[in-house]
A and B are shown apart, each in its own frame.
Chain A
Amino acid sequence: DADVTQTPRNRITKTGKRIMLECSQTKGHDRMYWYRQDPGLGLRLIYYSFDVKDINKGEISDGYSVSRQAQAKFSLSLESAIPNQTALYFCATSDTDGKNTGELFFGEGSRLTVL
């Protein structure tokens, strides 16, 4: 089983619908991230969390919200999906160990299509 699991892996929805992407990890890491990947734009950070009580906006947080329900779970919500939120979404984790700075462990991605 993958250490960082994302569900659903693929989702097609309609404009205006609420969507939740879930991420769970078994790595025991405190830090979790949501990135969005668009062709030609690379990966952009949406939100990140350093522990259960910590939520921080990233580069492109508008239109998104997150919930850190437990150390192992970090959910991304689109309250009212719009077509330009069609993208590949990645959850990632990292350890607080300074020796592993910046080494992110990614999930397999969730492809979201908003019609």
Chain B
Amino acid sequence: AQKVTQAQTEISVVEKEDVTLDCVYETRDTTYYLFWYKQPPSGELVFLIRRNSFDEQNEISGRYSWNFQKSTSSFNFTITASQVVDSAVYFCALSDTYNTDKLIFGTGTRLQVFP
């Protein structure tokens, strides 16, 4: 069965600290997609990144970076020099076997960044 585990329920850091959000997934598929979504206090979920299972290259976007490792079935998300505006719930997700637009979400990690 497909599953996404975000073991960290809540993380608190002080501004400018680096923080890594963990995501571990389970799937028997050889082709799949992984995602991260952000849910700020306003509530609306926002797409951050998609990664194809064939592309293990890490990605960096500004202060955000993602580390995809198939060997450990992990897709971790690091925020460098965190800011108060990064405070949100972050969800990792995996595409369904039969329909890549159906996403299986993890339970989310709440990140609080204090000034």
Contacts and interface: CB of A to CB of B under 8 A. Distances in A.
A68 interface: no
Contact of B91 (A42, A58, A109): A42
Contact of B43 (A31, A40, A44, A88): A88
A48 B102 contact: yes
Contacts of B13: none
A17 to B, nearest CB: 24
Interface in A69-114: 88, 90, 92, 94, 101-109
A43 B91 contact: yes
Contacts of A109: 43-44
Contacts of B45: 43, 90, 92, 104, 106
B41 to A, nearest CB: 12
Contacts of A58: 102
Contacts of B93: 102
B101 interface: yes
A12 interface: no
B104 to A, nearest CB: 8
A19 interface: no
Given A102-B103, A104-B103, A40 B9 contact: yes
Interface in B71-110: 91, 93, 95, 100-103, 105-108
A58 to B, nearest CB: 8
B50 A103 contact: yes
Contact of A101 (B33, B91, B106, B107): B33
Nearest to A94: B101
**Could you say which of B9, B102, B107 has the most chain A C-beta atoms within 10 Å of its C-beta?**
B102
A92 B100 CA distance: 14
Nearest to B93: A102
A92 B101 CA distance: 11
A104 B50 CA distance: 11
A58 B98 CA distance: 13
Nearest to B92: A42
Interface of A: 31, 33, 35, 40-45, 48, 58, 88, 90, 92, 94, 101-109
